[in-house]
C-alpha cells in the first residue's frame, strides 16, 4: 500500500510529484477560461480586477503574463522566490466592494479561492478530456496543492483538511459565495475582439481578430459545458442534450489523440524545461530528481 502524501509547508514540490505532470499537461488550456471565470465570480477578486488590473483592455496578453508566473511556483528553479513575487503583486490590491465592505487580495479566504481553482482545474481537465483521476490520485494531488499553496506564506486557515473536505468547500463556495456578476454576464454575451490586441507585434491585427474571435467562442462554449451543473443552472446558462453530446465527442477525440501521446510530449514547454533542468542537476550529483523518460 502506497503511503499517504503528507504536505511539508514551505517546501517546493519536486519533479517526483504528481502535480508536476498534471499541472503541466496542455489539456489544462481547455479549462483555462473556466478557471479564470470561477475566480472572477468571487466578489473580492472581481472587484480587485476591476479596480487594479488592465485585464479588460487586453485579457489575452494579461493571461500570457500571469499564467507562467503562477506555474513558476511549481516549476521555477527558485520556487520560493517566485511564490513571494506572485504574493507581493497582490499586496496593494484592496478597496471596497460595491456593498461597501472592505476587501484585500491577500485576505486568506480570497487568496485561497484563486489557488483552489488551479487545483480543481487539473481534475476537470482529466475528467472531461482525459481518463479521469483515481480517488487516491485526487487525494495525492490535493495534499500536494496544500504544500504548493504554503509557499505563498499566506495563512492556511481556509485550507480544507483533505480532498473530501475540499469537495464540500468547493460546493459551498459555488453555491453561496460566487456571484453571476458583470464580468461573468459579459463573458457569455456575443462580442468581437474580446481577447484584445495581438499578443505579438508581428501578428496582423485583422488576422488575430478573426482567429481570437473563433477561440473565444469555442472557449465560452467549453466554459458553459464544463461548469459545475448547479452553478450553470443558477447562472441561467443553457446547455442542451446536443451540446452535451458534442462535449463528450470533443472529450473522446482529445483523449484518444493527444491523450495517447507519451506524457512527456503532453507537457507545456515551461514544464519540459523544468524537467530537463532537474534531470541535469541529478546527473551532476545534485538533489535527487526524476529524469524525464
C-alpha cell at 74: 511549481
C-alpha cell at 284: 551532476
Per-residue pLDDT, 291: 42
In a domain, 10, yes or no: no
Question: What is the pLDDT confidence band of residue 67, given thresholds at 50, 70 and 90?
Answer: confident
* C-alpha count within 13 angstroms, C-beta hemisphere, residue 197: 6
- Global pTM reads 0.90
Range of 150's domain?
A: 18-283
In a domain, 11, yes or no: no
Per-residue pLDDT, 292: 43
- Segment 108-114 shows an average pLDDT of 97
CA angle 212, 214, 220 (to 5 degrees): 95
In a domain, 210, yes or no: yes
Q: Are 129 and 259 in contact (CB under 8 A)?
A: yes
In a domain, 13, yes or no: no
In a domain, 9, yes or no: no
Domain count, the chain: 1
In a domain, 1, yes or no: no
Question: What is the pLDDT confidence band of residue 241, given thresholds at 50, 70 and 90?
Answer: very high
Task: Say how far residue 130 (Cα) sits from the centre of its chain.
Answer: 16
Where on the phi/psi map is residue 236: left (φ > 0), alpha (ψ -120 to 50), or beta?
Answer: left
H helix or E strand, kind and range, residue 141: helix 135-150
Question: What is the pLDDT confidence band of residue 60, given thresholds at 50, 70 and 90?
Answer: low
In a domain, 290, yes or no: no
Is the pLDDT reported for residue 137 higher than 70? Answer: yes
In a domain, 4, yes or no: no
Q: Three-class SS of residue 225? A: helix
Strand partners, 104: 94
Per-residue pLDDT, 59: 62
Amino acid at each position: 500500500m502506497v503511503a499517504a502524501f503528507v504536505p511539508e509547508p514551505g517546501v517546493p514540490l519536486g519533479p517526483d510529484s504528481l502535480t508536476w505532470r498534471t499541472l503541466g499537461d496542455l489539456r489544462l488550456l481547455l479549462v483555462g477560461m473556466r478557471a479564470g471565470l470561477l475566480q472572477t465570480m468571487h466578489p473580492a477578486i472581481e472587484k480587485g480586477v476591476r479596480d487594479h488590473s488592465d485585464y479588460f483592455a487586453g485579457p489575452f496578453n494579461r493571461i500570457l503574463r500571469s499564467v507562467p508566473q503562477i506555474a513558476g511556483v511549481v516549476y521555477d528553479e527558485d520556487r520560493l522566490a517566485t511564490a513571494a513575487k506572485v504574493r507581493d503583486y497582490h499586496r496593494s490590491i484592496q478597496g471596497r466592494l460595491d456593498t461597501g465592505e472592505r476587501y484585500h487580495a491577500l485576505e486568506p479566504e480570497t487568496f485561497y479561492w484563486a489557488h483552489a481553482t488551479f487545483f480543481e482545474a487539473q481534475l476537470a481537465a482529466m475528467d472531461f478530456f482525459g481518463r479521469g483521476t483515481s480517488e487516491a490520485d485526487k487525494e495525492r494531488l490535493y495534499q500536494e496543492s496544500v504544500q504548493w499553496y504554503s509557499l505563498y506564506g499566506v495563512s492556511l486557515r481556509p485550507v480544507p483538511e483533505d480532498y473530501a473536505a475540499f469537495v464540500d468547500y468547493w460546493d459551498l463556495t459555488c453555491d453561496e459565495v460566487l456571484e453571476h456578476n458583470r464580468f461573468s454576464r459579459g463573458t457569455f454575451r456575443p462580442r468581437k475582439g474580446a481577447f484584445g490586441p495581438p499578443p505579438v507585434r508581428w501578428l496582423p491585427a485583422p488576422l488575430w481578430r478573426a482567429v481570437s474571435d473563433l477561440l473565444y467562442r469555442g472557449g465560452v462554449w467549453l466554459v458553459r459545458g464544463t461548469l459545475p451543473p448547479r452553478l450553470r443552472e443558477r447562472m441561467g446558462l443553457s446547455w442542451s442534450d446536443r451540446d452535451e453530446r458534442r462535449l463528450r465527442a470533443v472529450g473522446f477525440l482529445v483523449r484518444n489523440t493527444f491523450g495517447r501521446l507519451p506524457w512527456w510530449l503532453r507537457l507545456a514547454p515551461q514544464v519540459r524545461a523544468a524537467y530537463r533542468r532537474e534531470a541535469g542537476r541529478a546527473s551532476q550529483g545534485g538533489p535527487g530528481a526524476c529524469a524525464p523518460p
